[in-house]
Chain A
Amino acid sequence: MRKKLSVTNNEVEMLDGHMLMSTTDLKGVITSCNSEFIEISGYTEQELIGQPHNVVRHPDMPAAAFKDLWETVQEGNPWVGQVKNRCKNGDYYWVTANVTPLTENGHVTGYMSVRYKPSRAEVSAAEALYAQINAGKATLQGTGKPSMQERMDNVGIRRLFHSLMAILFVMFAAVSIFINNLLTHAGEGTDVTLEVFGSFIGMYALLFFGTRVMVEKKVLPAIQIIEENLTELAEGNFQAAINVHRQDRCGDALRSLKVLQIRQGFMVNDTQQQATRMLRIKTALDEVSSNVMIADGDFNIFYMNNAAQALMENAEKDFRKDLPNFHANQLVGTCIDVFHKDPSHQRRLLGALTSSYASKDMNIGGRVMRVVANPVCSESGDRVATVVEWIDRTEEVAVEKEVQGIVEAAMAGNLSERIATEDKNGFFAALSGGINALVDVSERVIDDTLRVLGAMSQGNLTESIDGDYEGQFGTLKENSNTTVHVLRDLIGKVRMTATDVSNGVVEIAGGNATLNDRTQTQAASLEETASSIEEMASTVQQNADNARQADQLAVDAREQAEQGGKIVSQAVVAMSGITESSNKISDIISVIDEIAFQTNLLALNAAVEAARAGEQGRGFAVVAGEVRALAQRSAEAAKEIKGLINASVESVNEGSELVDKSGEALDVIVQSVQKVSDIIAEIAAAGQEQASGIDQINQAIAQMDSVTQQNAALVEETTAASQTLEQQSNDMQKLVSAFELGDVTEEEELVAKKLKKMAAKAAVPKKAASKKTKVRANSKYASQNDDWEEF
């Protein structure tokens, strides 16, 4: 029926003073067992309770022994005997078993076994006996008190006395022989043997008769009374009347029995009260929601409340991943080592525990457990139990991890994660919902910001955040929109500026080209200037020569001029002579003229006389006419001469003046020549200075030449740079045009227009302005016309 279980030859010895206790129902099914039993058997409480007691039966035990046991106890008698039991792992242990039926109201309700540690002699005897029985060489006989009991029941006290006496006799004889042997071995003579035997026989005879009288008269009735009272006690009746007044040994026994009765009654009552209290506490503890587990001083679990049981059953599957030997149903009676991979550490930890200890989170097969252990000590300070409270933090930690995951994801920038709220209740649901809402808002804000910033990174400045946000999110929105706005404004201005810069750069490039041309022209001009300066140098040299010659010539001229001055003086003298002569001639001519006048008057008078004379004076008149004619001719001649002389005098005067002037002029010439000479000397000196000046000019031109060369190089570099700049400004324009500004608002447009106008004003010359005024004027007229039309 039962499968063959493996056994080993390891014996586990019971500890001194330990009792293995168990109770069974009438069929031998274990209903309870104590911790020592559980410990030594190697099974858990769960594995033992409800099982037939023969789970610990060792195959070496003969069936007859158990048959005997069952027969004994079923008759209502206690059974005592040595039993070899098997541990779970196959080891064995010997016990001295005392089995007694439990009666309630005269009915047997079950059996109780109490086992002690047997002596080695008992063990070896039993071992030998059972071996023989098993081998079929012996039958079970006298193995225990049942046979004795049986005999007692059967033979009565008198036969018992005889038997006892016989046994005593044998014993006396044996002791005599034994002592004799001892003495013989000690070297005593055979005389001693006889003395010993004689004394023993005498002693035995005395004992025999005395005892017989005593037993028959006194002992048997007393035993009868004591038996009755003991039976009452055994049945749990502590209220039976006991005669405590008897004045003999029996009375002493009865008084002791009374003490036992009272004491036992008190203790039972007390125990029952305690049990009631314990039951209440146990019931309460059973139902509390905390997961409580209690282990005894050896760390064997002897209690788990319902919550703990439920937890363990719930967690069994997970625990097994790490603890393959874990069975939730077998925990009671098992050592707490089952929870640990390294039990020794745990034992040390719990063993040294003096106050409450809370462990850290432990991961057992994916479950997060926390243990709070409290030591329980007896009054004497011995450690008797450890209360362990299990806290299943799996869900909490899961939520923690979930929240941590969300937070870490958020910290890592992933806002798409959410906490599942369907499987959560209460605080965790509210927390999850709150965190989800927080992440939602953050995600929306960040998505909006990302959208705007992304658009900005693509150069699109038309995006903005439109959602309603509060607090710092609102500020973020405002600031983002402002940033975009400002950037758009800025880029717009930059774009205009870029255009202006581009125009400016083009102008610069043009200007540079012109400058380049001019610089080259300048260089050419410098070369020409250099050659001109060389020519000038030779010219200056020539000038110096010329100046020398001129000086010489000036000296000659001065001499000649001085000579001319002398000649002029002479001419002046000659002239004054001529003037004198002319004046004399003029005087003479005046005389002649007067004569001619007088002659004319005379002739006229003659003509008057002739006219008065009439016919007679005719001839005379002719003569007078002739005279008059002559006089007139001479007057005319004189007049002519006078004119000539006057003319010559005038000419001479003029000549004289001219000669004077010539003299003065010659003096001036002499002075001038002197001055000329001086000037020429100065010119010569100046020529010298010019020569040195020209040298300096040459140096300066050389410097200018090198500077111009440098300028030319610089201008080329500048040209290149301006071309690069042009390229760059084009690039900049392209870059800036990459920005999409969208519809520009009116205000911005106004600003842009203003800026453009300013730029145009700065760039366009006055023509434009005049044009504008013209246009304005026209418009004025136009408006006036309109007015007129309206009139």
Chain B
Amino acid sequence: MEAVKERETGIADVNENQYLTFMLSGEEYGVDILTVQELRGWEDATPIPNSPSFVSGIINLRGVVVPIINLRDRFGLENRAFDATTVVIIVKLAGNDRERVLGIVVDAVSEVYSISGSDLKPPPDMDGAISIEFVKHLATIDNKMIILLDINRLINEGIFSKKETADLDVHEISVEE
């Protein structure tokens, strides 16, 4: 209730963090808004040979090569066709040595919520669509459960291994070159 109030007023507390929520297979997930670079509508990505299947391709985002990750594919969910309303969330992560930018394809973006730390609850010991190791907190807003993801971990450990990351980095570099 409190969060809604804050969202309506648009005034965030000091203890509050803003989360961008998206829909994936009927469940609402949230990521820290500060990890989000921007939101884009779906546009065709250039496929990359020898890449995992969950990598839909790469796009050129204002000179930056951004890999597009199909989360549904990554987590073994049923694939759906991408259309005009399919949204790609471009996230920017601070890696060990450099920043990483990549797009994740979600069903739809939902809201921007301001959630105070007291409203965060530890994840339960059970898996949902996304493995529990990538969930940071659970939050309840307007009687609906929002799963807050640890995007860093998801990207670094869930999506890219070191090698993969390295490959991607090389590739990123080569694209940059």
Q: Which residues from chain A sit less than 8 Å from chain B, CB to CB?
A: 594, 597-598, 600-601, 604-605, 607-608, 611-612, 618, 621-622, 625
- The answer to whether A612 touches B34, judged by C-beta atoms less than 8 angstroms apart, is yes
* Nearest chain B CB to A219 CB, angstrom units: 229
Please provide the chain B residues from 1 to 30 with a CB less than 8 Å away from any CB of chain A in the complex.
7, 10-12, 18, 20
- The answer to whether B112 touches A611, judged by C-beta atoms less than 8 angstroms apart, is yes
- The answer to whether A605 touches B112, judged by C-beta atoms less than 8 angstroms apart, is no
- The answer to whether A611 touches B39, judged by C-beta atoms less than 8 angstroms apart, is no
Scoring A604, A618, A622 by chain B CB atoms within 10 A of each residue's CB, the highest score goes to: A604
A600 to B11, CA, bound (A): 20
A618 to B87, CA, bound (A): 25
Report the nearest A residue to B41, measured CB to CB.
Answer: A601
Q: Is B46 an interface residue (CB 8 A)?
A: no
- The answer to whether A625 touches B85, judged by C-beta atoms less than 8 angstroms apart, is no
- The answer to whether A604 touches B85, judged by C-beta atoms less than 8 angstroms apart, is no
Report the nearest A residue to B32, measured CB to CB.
Answer: A611
- The answer to whether B84 touches A594, judged by C-beta atoms less than 8 angstroms apart, is yes
Across-interface contacts of A597 in B (CB, < 8 A): 41, 84-85
A611 to B33, CA, bound (A): 7
Across-interface contacts of B7 in A (CB, < 8 A): 625
Q: Other than the known A601-B87, A611-B112, A618-B10, what 13 A-B pairs have Cβ atoms closer than 8 Å?
A: A598-B41, A601-B40, A604-B109, A605-B39, A607-B33, A608-B20, A608-B36, A608-B38, A608-B112, A611-B18, A611-B33, A611-B34, A625-B7
Instruction: Specify the main secondary structure of chain B where it touches its partner.
Output: strand
Q: Is B37 an interface residue (CB 8 A)?
A: yes
Report the nearest B residue to A607, measured CB to CB.
Answer: B112
5 contacts between A and B (CB under 8 A): A598-B41, A604-B39, A611-B33, A622-B10, A625-B10
Q: Which residues from chain B sit less than 8 Å from chain A, CB to CB?
A: 7, 10-12, 18, 20, 33-34, 36-41, 84-85, 87, 109, 112
A607 to B19, CA, bound (A): 11
Kindly list the 3 A-B residue pairs having the minimum CB-CB distance in the complex, ordered from nearest: A622-B10, A611-B33, A607-B112
- The answer to whether B33 touches A608, judged by C-beta atoms less than 8 angstroms apart, is yes
Across-interface contacts of B33 in A (CB, < 8 A): 607-608, 611-612
* Nearest chain A CB to B84 CB, angstrom units: 6
* Nearest chain A CB to B109 CB, angstrom units: 6
Across-interface contacts of A622 in B (CB, < 8 A): 10
A625 to B34, CA, bound (A): 17
> With A618-B10, A618-B12 given, is the CB distance from A608 to B37 under 8 Å?
yes
Across-interface contacts of B34 in A (CB, < 8 A): 611-612
* Nearest chain B CB to A594 CB, angstrom units: 6
Report the nearest B residue to A590, measured CB to CB.
Answer: B84
* Nearest chain B CB to A90 CB, angstrom units: 195
Report the nearest B residue to A635, measured CB to CB.
Answer: B85
- The answer to whether A618 touches B84, judged by C-beta atoms less than 8 angstroms apart, is no
Report the nearest A residue to B87, measured CB to CB.
Answer: A601
* Nearest chain B CB to A606 CB, angstrom units: 10
A601 to B90, CA, bound (A): 12
Report the nearest A residue to B40, measured CB to CB.
Answer: A601
Report the nearest B residue to A623, measured CB to CB.
Answer: B10
Across-interface contacts of A600 in B (CB, < 8 A): 109
* Nearest chain B CB to A225 CB, angstrom units: 224
- The answer to whether B41 touches A618, judged by C-beta atoms less than 8 angstroms apart, is no
Across-interface contacts of B11 in A (CB, < 8 A): 618
* Nearest chain B CB to A201 CB, angstrom units: 241
Across-interface contacts of A608 in B (CB, < 8 A): 20, 33, 36-39, 112
* Nearest chain A CB to B42 CB, angstrom units: 11
Across-interface contacts of B84 in A (CB, < 8 A): 594, 597
A770 to B18, CA, bound (A): 95
- The answer to whether B39 touches A601, judged by C-beta atoms less than 8 angstroms apart, is yes
* Nearest chain B CB to A409 CB, angstrom units: 141
Report the nearest B residue to A609, measured CB to CB.
Answer: B38
* Nearest chain B CB to A427 CB, angstrom units: 153
Scoring A597, A598, A607 by chain B CB atoms within 10 A of each residue's CB, the highest score goes to: A607
Scoring A607, A608, A622 by chain B CB atoms within 10 A of each residue's CB, the highest score goes to: A608
Across-interface contacts of B40 in A (CB, < 8 A): 601
Across-interface contacts of B12 in A (CB, < 8 A): 618
Across-interface contacts of A621 in B (CB, < 8 A): 10
A607 to B34, CA, bound (A): 10
* Nearest chain A CB to B43 CB, angstrom units: 12
Scoring A600, A601, A605, A611 by chain B CB atoms within 10 A of each residue's CB, the highest score goes to: A611
- The answer to whether A601 touches B109, judged by C-beta atoms less than 8 angstroms apart, is yes
* Nearest chain B CB to A178 CB, angstrom units: 228
* Nearest chain B CB to A726 CB, angstrom units: 97
* Nearest chain B CB to A716 CB, angstrom units: 94
A587 to B68, CA, bound (A): 30
* Nearest chain A CB to B161 CB, angstrom units: 28
* Nearest chain B CB to A602 CB, angstrom units: 9
A621 to B18, CA, bound (A): 11
Scoring B11, B85, B109 by chain A CB atoms within 10 A of each residue's CB, the highest score goes to: B85
* Nearest chain B CB to A620 CB, angstrom units: 10
Across-interface contacts of A625 in B (CB, < 8 A): 7, 10, 112
A373 to B33, CA, bound (A): 196
* Nearest chain A CB to B74 CB, angstrom units: 23
Across-interface contacts of A594 in B (CB, < 8 A): 84
Across-interface contacts of B20 in A (CB, < 8 A): 604, 607-608
Across-interface contacts of B85 in A (CB, < 8 A): 597
A688 to B80, CA, bound (A): 74
Across-interface contacts of A601 in B (CB, < 8 A): 39-41, 87, 109
- The answer to whether A604 touches B10, judged by C-beta atoms less than 8 angstroms apart, is no
* Nearest chain A CB to B176 CB, angstrom units: 23
Across-interface contacts of B109 in A (CB, < 8 A): 600-601, 604
A598 to B85, CA, bound (A): 9
* Nearest chain A CB to B108 CB, angstrom units: 10
Report the nearest B residue to A608, measured CB to CB.
Answer: B36
A162 to B11, CA, bound (A): 265
Across-interface contacts of B10 in A (CB, < 8 A): 618, 621-622, 625
Across-interface contacts of A607 in B (CB, < 8 A): 18, 20, 33, 112
A681 to B67, CA, bound (A): 83
Across-interface contacts of A605 in B (CB, < 8 A): 38-39
A422 to B86, CA, bound (A): 166
Across-interface contacts of B38 in A (CB, < 8 A): 605, 608
A604 to B7, CA, bound (A): 13
* Nearest chain A CB to B17 CB, angstrom units: 9
* Nearest chain A CB to B38 CB, angstrom units: 5
A788 to B40, CA, bound (A): 100
A227 to B147, CA, bound (A): 233
A397 to B38, CA, bound (A): 181
Report the nearest A residue to B10, measured CB to CB.
Answer: A622
Scoring B7, B39, B84 by chain A CB atoms within 10 A of each residue's CB, the highest score goes to: B39
* Nearest chain A CB to B26 CB, angstrom units: 19
A618 to B114, CA, bound (A): 12
Report the nearest A residue to B85, measured CB to CB.
Answer: A597
* Nearest chain A CB to B70 CB, angstrom units: 19
* Nearest chain B CB to A616 CB, angstrom units: 13
A228 to B40, CA, bound (A): 241
A118 to B20, CA, bound (A): 226
A604 to B20, CA, bound (A): 9
Across-interface contacts of B18 in A (CB, < 8 A): 607, 611
Report the nearest B residue to A602, measured CB to CB.
Answer: B39
A618 to B6, CA, bound (A): 12
A621 to B16, CA, bound (A): 15
* Nearest chain A CB to B95 CB, angstrom units: 18
A598 to B39, CA, bound (A): 10
Report the nearest B residue to A620, measured CB to CB.
Answer: B10
* Nearest chain A CB to B107 CB, angstrom units: 13
